[in-house]
C-alpha cells in the first residue's frame, strides 16, 4: 500500500469522509480511505432477540458505556468501547463523547433530522455582536444543500422562514392530528412557528454513507477502502512542510503502517480529526486548534403532557399522533431578556407518558398508565451553545487508547446563556401546552452533560484570519495547504439545528474546491 500513489487519502468513512470520497472519486480522483472500524453487515451482525434472552434483561452490562446514555443492551455493541477508546475530563464536568467506530460511522444510526443553517448562524456576530461570523454565508452553501438533500431524500414541508431555510424536499403532505393542530394553534398565539419534522428518508430508512455515498464512489473504481486502520498521525515532508500521508495501526495486529498521498482529508468526526492534528503537532500556528468546542444542549422530555380528550382509552389516530418541529423563534426580531441566540423543539404525540416521571407505584401507577395510554405529548429542547475559547480539548499525556495513541482531555461546561435559555424553553412549552388544553404531568429544564446531543462541533474552526482560525473558508488548513478537515470541527457556530446536512454540504463544497485545485495544478 505504501507504494501506491493515491491522489487523496481520506480518514473516516462517515457522512463527512463518505461525501468527500463520493465527490472526488466521481471526478476521477484516486482516493484511499482509512477507517478505524470494521465493515458492518446488517444481516450477519444483527439477530432478533427477546429482551429476556439478553444476559442483563435489557439493562446491559453495568458500567460498560457510562457516557453513552443512548445505549441499551440491544445496541451496546455498536458504540465505541470506552475502555479501548478512553478520554479524560475534569471531575464533575463530564463530557459524554458518543462514538461509532464502524465503516459508515454514525451515519449508520443517526436519527436523520435534516436542517439547513441560515445567516442567523453564518453571520451570528453581525446579528448580536457575540463571537465570530463564519467566513461564508448561507448563499455560499445553498447550492450544496440543494445537491445533498436529494441524495439523502429529505422529506419536509416548505415554510419560507428565514431562520430555517427550505430545502429540496420530498414534500410532506401528511395531515396533522387534532392534538398537533391544537398545539400549533396555541403556539401560533405566541408567534411560535411549528412545521413538520425534516428528515432524511434515504433508502429503507437507512440514510448512511454506507448506502448513499460509498457505493457510487466505489463504482468508479477510484476508491479503495481500508477498514480496521486506526490513523495515529498525519506525516509531513520535512522540506516542504506539506502533508505526505498518514501513519496508521492495524486494529487487530497492532502493526504500524504508513500510506502516502498528495492530499490528506480528515473526516474522522469532529473531535477525532482534531485529536489527529494535535497528535501530529501541525496546523496550529493560531493556537486555537482544540478550542471553541461546543454542541447543542439537549433536554429530553422537557415537558410531558397529556391531551385530556384522548385519555381513558379514547386516543384515536385522527385525534392524536405525529409530531413536529419548532425552529428557533427567540432573538430573531426581538431580544430575549437574559440570553442570546435560541433553541428548537422537537415534539411527538400519541405516546404514553414515561412511568419514570409519574408518581405512584404498583396498581396505582399501572392504572394511571392505562388511563394516559396513547394520550401523551413530549418534547425535546435542543439549544444553541455559545462557542467559547475556554471550552476545549487537548491531549492528555497520561492517557492512551488501546493502540497507544494519546487520548483527549475535555474541558467543557455550559454557561448562564444556556441555563437561561433552558428555563425559557420549559416555561414557554408549558404555557403552550396549557393554552392547548393539555395537562402537564412533568417538566424539567435540566440538560444532559455536554456531548449528549452527539452534535459536538468546533475545535478546528474556519475563518479568514489564520491567527484566529485553523481552516480557511474551503475547510483547508491555513498552515498546511494540502490538509482539509471536512467534519463538524470546522463549524464556527452551530445554531440549534442538527448539523449533518451542513457537514455533508461543507464536505461536498470543500471536495469540489480541492478537485479544481488539483486539476489546475495548484495542489
Partner 1 sequence: MPPLNGMAGALDAQAPEFLDFLIGISPAPRQQFYRDGLELLDARSREKFGQIFASLSATQAAEILRPLDEPWTHDPPADPLARFLRDAHLDIRRATQNSRPAMASAPSTGRRPGGIGLYWLPIDPIV
Where does this chain bind partner 1 (CB under 8 A)?
Answer: 37-40, 44-52, 54, 56-59, 61-63, 73-78, 84, 102, 228, 251-252, 355-364, 366, 402, 442, 444-446
Least distance from ligand FAD to the Cβ atom of residue 503, Å: 6
Least distance from partner 1 to the Cβ atom of residue 222, Å: 26
Which residues, other chains included, contact 319 with Cβ-Cβ below 8 Å and sequence gap of 6+? 177, 178, 179, 307, 309, 310
Q: Which is nearer to partner 1, 45 or 126 (CB)?
A: 45
Terminal C-alpha separation, the chain: 22
Q: Which is nearer to ligand FAD, 32 or 311 (CB)?
A: 32
Q: Which is nearer to partner 1, 47 or 239 (CB)?
A: 47
Q: Which is nearer to ligand FAD, 12 or 495 (CB)?
A: 12
**61 contact, one of ligand FAD, partner 1, none, CB 5-8 Å limit per kind:** partner 1
Whether 330 and 407 have beta carbons less than 8 Å apart is answered as no
Which residues make up the interface to ligand FAD (CB under 6 A)?
11-17, 34-37, 70, 98, 100-102, 105-107, 109-113, 229-231, 267-269, 272, 276, 454-455, 487-488, 498-500, 503
Least distance from partner 1 to the Cβ atom of residue 342, Å: 22
Which residues face 32 on adjacent strands? 9, 224
Q: Return the C-alpha cell found at 437.
A: 388544553
Whether 414 and 449 have beta carbons less than 8 Å apart is answered as no
Q: Locate cell 388544553: which residue?
A: 437
Report, in angstroms and rounded to the nearest whole number, the Rg of the chain calculated over CA atoms.
23
Whether 213 and 151 have beta carbons less than 8 Å apart is answered as yes
**401 contact, one of ligand FAD, partner 1, none, CB 5-8 Å limit per kind:** none
3-state per-residue secondary structure call for 446-503 = CCCCCCCCCCCEECCCECCCCCCCCECCCCEECCCCCEEECCHHHCCCCCCCCCHHHH
Length of the chain: 523
Which residues, other chains included, contact 52 with Cβ-Cβ below 8 Å and sequence gap of 6+? none
Reported in sequence order, the residue ranges of 327-436 that DSSP labels E, i.e. its strands, are 343-351, 376-384, 392-400, 406-411
**47 contact, one of ligand FAD, partner 1, none, CB 5-8 Å limit per kind:** partner 1
Alpha-carbon distance of 244 to 483, in angstroms, equals 10
Q: Which is nearer to partner 1, 374 or 494 (CB)?
A: 374
**74 contact, one of partner 1, ligand FAD, none, CB 5-8 Å limit per kind:** partner 1
Chain-centroid distance of CA 238 in Å reads 36
Q: Which is nearer to partner 1, 37 or 135 (CB)?
A: 37
**62 contact, one of ligand FAD, partner 1, none, CB 5-8 Å limit per kind:** partner 1
**290 contact, one of partner 1, ligand FAD, none, CB 5-8 Å limit per kind:** none
Q: Which is nearer to ligand FAD, 34 or 441 (CB)?
A: 34
**251 contact, one of partner 1, ligand FAD, none, CB 5-8 Å limit per kind:** partner 1
**63 contact, one of partner 1, ligand FAD, none, CB 5-8 Å limit per kind:** partner 1
Least distance from ligand FAD to the Cβ atom of residue 251, Å: 9
Q: Which is nearer to partner 1, 57 or 519 (CB)?
A: 57
Amino acid at each position: 500500500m505504501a507504494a501506491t500513489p493515491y491522489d487523496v487519502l481520506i480518514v473516516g468513512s462517515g457522512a463527512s469522509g463518505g461525501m468527500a470520497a463520493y465527490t472526488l472519486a466521481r471526478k476521477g480522483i484516486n482516493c484511499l480511505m482509512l477507517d478505524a472500524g470494521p465493515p458492518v453487515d446488517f444481516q450477519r451482525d444483527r439477530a432478533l432477540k427477546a429482551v429476556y434472552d439478553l444476559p442483563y434483561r435489557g439493562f446491559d452490562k453495568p458500567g460498560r458505556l457510562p457516557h453513552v446514555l443512548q445505549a441499551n443492551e440491544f445496541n451496546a455493541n455498536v458504540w465505541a468501547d470506552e475502555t479501548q477508546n478512553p478520554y479524560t475530563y475534569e471531575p464533575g464536568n463530564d463530557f459524554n463523547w458518543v462514538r461509532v467506530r464502524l465503516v459508515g460511522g454514525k451515519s449508520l444510526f443517526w436519527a436523520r433530522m435534516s436542517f439547513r443553517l441560515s445567516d442567523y448562524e453564518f453571520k451570528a456576530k453581525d446579528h448580536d455582536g457575540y463571537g465570530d461570523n463564519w467566513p461564508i454565508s448561507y448563499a455560499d452553501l445553498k447550492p450544496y444543500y440543494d445537491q445533498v438533500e436529494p441524495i439523502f431524500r429529505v422529506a419536509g414541508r416548505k415554510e419560507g422562514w428565514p431562520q430555517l431555510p427550505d430545502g429540496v424536499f420530498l414534500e410532506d403532505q401528511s395531515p396533522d392530528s387534532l392534538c398537533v393542530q391544537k398545539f400549533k394553534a396555541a403556539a401560533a398565539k405566541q408567534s411560535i412557528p411549528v412545521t413538520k419534522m425534516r428528515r432524511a428518508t434515504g433508502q429503507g430508512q437507512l440514510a448512511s454513507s454506507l448506502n448513499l455515498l460509498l457505493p457510487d464512489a466505489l463504482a468508479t473504481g477510484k476508491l479503495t477502502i481500508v477498514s480496521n486502520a486506526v490513523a495515529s498521525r498525519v506525516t509531513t515532508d520535512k522540506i516542504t512542510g506539506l502533508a505526505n500521508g498518514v501513519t496508521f495501526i492495524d486494529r487487530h495486529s497492532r502493526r504500524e503502517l504508513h500510506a502516502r498521498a498528495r492530499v490528506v482529508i480528515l473526516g474522522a468526526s469532529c473531535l477525532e480529526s482534531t485529536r489527529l492534528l494535535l497528535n501530529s503537532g501541525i496546523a496550529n500556528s493560531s493556537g486555537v486548534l482544540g478550542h471553541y468546542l461546543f454542541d447543542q444542549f439537549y433536554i429530553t422530555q422537557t415537558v410531558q403532557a397529556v391531551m385530556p380528550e384522548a385519555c381513558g382509552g379514547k386516543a384515536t389516530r385522527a385525534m392524536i399522533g405525529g409530531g413536529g418541529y419548532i425552529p428557533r423563534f427567540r432573538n430573531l426580531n426581538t431580544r430575549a431578556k437574559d440570553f442570546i441566540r435560541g433553541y428548537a423543539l422537537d415534539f411527538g404525540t400519541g405516546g404514553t407518558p414515561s412511568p419514570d416521571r409519574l408518581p405512584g407505584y404498583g396498581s396505582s401507577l399501572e392504572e394511571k398508565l392505562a388511563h394516559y395510554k396513547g394520550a401523551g405529548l413530549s418534547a425535546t429542547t435542543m439549544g444553541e451553545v455559545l462557542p467559547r475559547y475556554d471550552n476545549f480539548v487537548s491531549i492528555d499525556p497520561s492517557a492512551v487508547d488501546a493502540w497507544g495513541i494519546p487520548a483527549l482531555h475535555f474541558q467543557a461546561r455550559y454557561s448562564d446563556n444556556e441555563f437561561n435559555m433552558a428555563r425559557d424553553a420549559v416555561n414557554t412549552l408549558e404555557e403552550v401546552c396549557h393554552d392547548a388544553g393539555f395537562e402537564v404531568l412533568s417538566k424539567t429544564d435540566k440538560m444532559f452533560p455536554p456531548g449528549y446531543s452527539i452534535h459536538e462541533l468546533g475545535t478546528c474552526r474556519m475563518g479568514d484570519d489564520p491567527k484566529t482560525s485553523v481552516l480557511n473558508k474551503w475547510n483547508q488548513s491555513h498552515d498546511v495547504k494540502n490538509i482539509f478537515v471536512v467534519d463538524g470541527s470546522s463549524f464556527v457556530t452551530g445554531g440549534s439545528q442538527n448539523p449533518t446536512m451542513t457537514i455533508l454540504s461543507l464536505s461536498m463544497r470543500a471536495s469540489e474546491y480541492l478537485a479544481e485545485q488539483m486539476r489546475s495544478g495548484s495542489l
